[in-house]
C-alpha cells in the first residue's frame, strides 16, 4: 500500500491557502476583488412545509468541511483572511447549529448570523464582489456585481481536478470508510439478504444517514445489475440469488468515494467473468501515466473487454473488429470513469483548458464523462463493466453481427445482470495510486 498522509488536520492550512490563491487569481478574469459563496438554501416540496434534504453548494465545501448548514456564506476578499458568516438562526423548532469547531476554525474569521439581512449587512461593498451560488435573486437584490461569471467558474472548475494533499487524504479516508461498508454488504449478500437490508447494513457500517452519502447507492441483486443506475431497494430477496452489484460510496469532509463491486454466488461462469473483468481493470490501471488521454484509455478498455468476450466464447470475432463495429458498446455502454472529488461526477471532465473550451466525448462513446489528459494530482474512477442488458441485446440480435454471438451463453448470463468494478485512482508522482485497493488491502490485515 502506497503511503498517503491522512493527517487532514495538518494538511488543511496548506489546502486553504492553495484554494484562496486559486480563487484570487481567477477573480481577476471577471474584474472582482472578492467572492461571496452561499452554502445554499433549503428547498421545500410543492405546497409543503417540509424541506428536501439539504445539499450544500460544492464551491462552499471546497473551502471548509461544512455540508449541513444552510444560509451560511463565505466571503473572501483578496489578501485577507477568509470570513465565514455562519448561520445560527434562533429557532425553537430546530436546534441551532453549534459553534464551529475543529481543525479548520483557526484559519478563519467567523461571525454568527441570525438571518439573511444579517449577512447582507456584513458583506461590505457588493460592487467589487463575484457571487457563486444558486440564489441569484438574492445576489441581485444585494447589488452584487458579477453573478456566476462564466470565466471565473471555468477557471475554478478546471483547477479543481488537481487535488491538494488534504483532498487526497480526505479521498483516501472516504475510501476506507466505504470499504468497511462494502465488506459488510458482501457478508449480507452471502447471508441471502434483500437489497433493502444490504443497503441498511451498508449505511450502518459506514455510519452515514442516506442523505450524507455522496450519491444514492446502487444495490442490485441478479438482473437488476444490468440497470446502470438501478434506483430501488427491493424489500424481498429473490427466491434464487445469483449475484450482487453494489455501487456505494462514503463522504469525508465533503469528499466522495465512489466504489463498485460485483459478487457471485458460488463458483462458475459468472464468477470467472468477474475475475476476468477484475484482471483487465487492474491491468488498465497499471498502464495509466501522465500524458495519456483518458478517452484513449476508454478505447483500450473496450479492446480488453472484447478480449474477455472472445475468451469466454460469448462473441466469436476478433477484438479489433468487435471494437471497430462498436459491438462492445452493447456490453459496456457507459464510460470508463470520471473525475472525483467534491462531487461524485466532479466538474470539468470535458474541459480542455481553464478558459472553458471543451473536448466532447467521442461520438462512439457519448456517455464518457472524462476526455482530459491524465496529469499528476488528478483523482478519477476506473470502472469497466460487462453487462447483459436485454434492451441492448435485442438490438444486437437484429444486427448483422447476431450470428457471431453465442445466444445460449447470453441467456445463461442474463439472470446475473452485469459486472462493474470501480476503483478510485489518484495520480501521484507519475504513477497511479489505487485508493480503493489501498483500503481493501489495509482491512485484510
Binding site for Mn ion (CB under 5 A): 258, 381
Residues paired with residue 190 on neighbouring β-strands, in sequence order: none
Distance of alpha carbon 352 from alpha carbon 350, whole angstroms: 6
Distance of alpha carbon 45 from alpha carbon 344, whole angstroms: 25
For Mn ion, the closer CB: 197 or 258: 258
C-alpha atoms less than 13 angstroms from C-alpha of 209 in its C-beta half-sphere: 5
For Mn ion, the closer CB: 257 or 405: 257
Distance of alpha carbon 233 from alpha carbon 218, whole angstroms: 8
For Mn ion, the closer CB: 139 or 171: 171
Shortest Cβ 194–Mn ion spacing (Å): 24
Shortest Cβ 346–Mn ion spacing (Å): 10
For Mn ion, the closer CB: 298 or 381: 381
For Mn ion, the closer CB: 135 or 258: 258
Shortest Cβ 305–Mn ion spacing (Å): 17
How far from 175 is each of 24, 285, 295, CA to CA, in Å?
Answer: 31, 17, 25
Nearest to 54 by CA among 38, 64, 66, 69: 69
Shortest Cβ 13–Mn ion spacing (Å): 31
Shortest Cβ 172–Mn ion spacing (Å): 17
CB atoms within 10 A of CB 380: 28
Shortest Cβ 422–Mn ion spacing (Å): 5
Shortest Cβ 337–Mn ion spacing (Å): 6
Strand, helix or coil at 186? helix
Q: By the 8 A CB rule, do 180 and 206 touch?
A: yes
Shortest Cβ 81–Mn ion spacing (Å): 36
CB-closest chain residue to Mn ion: 258
For Mn ion, the closer CB: 116 or 246: 246
Q: By the 8 A CB rule, do 74 and 80 touch?
A: no
For Mn ion, the closer CB: 155 or 167: 167
Which sign, positive or negative, has the C-alpha torsion 284, 220, 367, 59? negative
For Mn ion, the closer CB: 228 or 241: 228
* Cα–Cα–Cα angle for 305, 309, 314, rounded to 5 degrees: 160
Give buried/exposed letters for 208-225 (b at 16+ CB in 10 A, else e): beeeebbebbbbbbbbbb
Task: Name, in order, each residue with C-beta under 8 angstroms of 442's C-beta and a sequence gap of 6 or more.
Answer: 1, 176
For Mn ion, the closer CB: 211 or 229: 229
Shortest Cβ 252–Mn ion spacing (Å): 17
Q: By the 8 A CB rule, do 331 and 157 touch?
A: no
Amino acid at each position: 500500500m502506497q503511503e498517503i498522509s491522512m493527517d487532514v488536520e495538518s494538511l488543511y492550512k496548506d489546502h486553504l491557502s492553495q484554494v484562496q490563491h486559486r480563487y484570487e487569481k481567477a477573480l481577476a478574469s471577471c474584474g472582482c476583488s472578492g467572492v461571496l459563496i452561499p452554502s445554499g438554501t433549503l428547498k421545500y416540496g410543492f405546497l409543503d412545509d417540509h424541506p428536501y434534504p439539504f445539499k450544500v453548494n460544492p464551491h462552499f465545501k471546497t473551502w471548509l468541511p461544512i455540508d449541513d448548514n444552510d444560509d451560511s456564506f463565505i466571503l473572501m476578499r483578496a489578501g485577507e483572511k477568509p470570513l465565514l458568516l455562519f448561520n445560527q438562526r434562533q429557532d425553537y423548532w430546530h436546534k441551532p447549529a453549534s459553534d464551529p469547531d475543529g481543525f479548520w476554525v483557526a484559519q478563519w474569521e467567523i461571525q454568527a448570523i441570525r438571518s439573511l439581512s444579517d449577512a447582507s449587512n456584513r458583506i461590505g461593498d457588493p460592487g467589487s464582489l463575484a457571487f457563486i451560488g444558486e440564489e441569484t435573486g438574492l445576489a441581485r437584490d444585494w447589488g452584487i456585481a458579477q453573478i456566476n461569471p462564466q470565466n471565473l467558474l471555468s477557471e475554478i472548475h478546471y483547477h479543481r481536478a488537481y487535488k491538494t494533499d488534504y483532498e487526497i487524504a480526505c479521498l483516501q479516508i472516504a475510501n476506507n470508510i466505504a470499504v468497511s461498508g462494502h465488506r459488510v454488504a458482501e457478508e449480507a449478500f452471502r447471508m441471502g439478504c434483500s437489497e433493502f437490508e444490504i443497503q441498511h447494513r451498508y449505511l450502518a457500517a459506514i455510519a452515514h444517514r442516506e442523505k450524507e452519502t455522496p450519491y444514492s447507492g446502487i444495490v442490485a441483486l441478479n438482473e437488476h445489475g444490468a440497470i446502470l443506475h438501478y434506483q430501488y431497494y427491493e424489500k424481498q430477496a429473490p427466491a434464487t440469488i445469483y449475484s450482487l452489484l453494489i455501487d456505494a460510496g462514503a463522504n469525508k469532509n465533503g469528499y466522495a468515494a465512489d466504489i463498485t463491486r460485483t459478487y457471485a454466488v458460488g463458483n462458475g461462469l459468472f464468477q470467472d467473468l468477474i475475475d476476468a473483468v477484475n484482471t483487465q481493470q487492474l491491468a488498465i490501471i497499471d498502464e495509466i501515466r501522465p500524458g495519456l488521454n483518458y478517452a484513449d484509455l476508454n478505447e483500450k478498455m473496450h479492446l480488453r473487454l472484447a478480449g474477455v468476450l472472445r475468451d469466454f466464447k460469448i462473441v466469436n470475432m476478433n477484438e479489433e473488429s468487435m471494437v471497430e463495429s462498436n459491438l462492445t458498446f452493447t456490453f459496456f455502454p457507459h464510460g470508463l470513469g470520471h473525475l472525483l472529488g467534491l462531487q461524485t461526477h466532479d466538474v470539468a471532465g470535458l474541459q480542455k483548458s481553464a478558459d472553458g473550451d471543451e473536448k466532447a466525448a467521442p461520438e462512439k462513446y457519448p456517455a464518457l464523462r472524462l476526455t482530459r489528459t491524465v496529469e499528476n494530482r488528478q483523482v478519477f474512477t476506473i470502472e469497466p463493466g460487462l453487462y447483459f442488458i436485454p434492451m441492448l441485446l435485442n438490438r444486437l440480435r437484429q444486427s448483422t453481427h447476431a450470428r457471431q454471438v453465442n445466444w445460449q451463453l447470453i441467456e445463461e448470463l442474463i439472470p446475473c445482470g452485469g459486472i462493474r468494478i470501480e476503483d478510485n485512482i489518484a495520480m501521484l508522482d507519475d504513477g497511479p495510486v489505487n485508493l480503493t485497493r489501498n483500503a481493501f488491502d489495509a482491512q485484510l490485515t
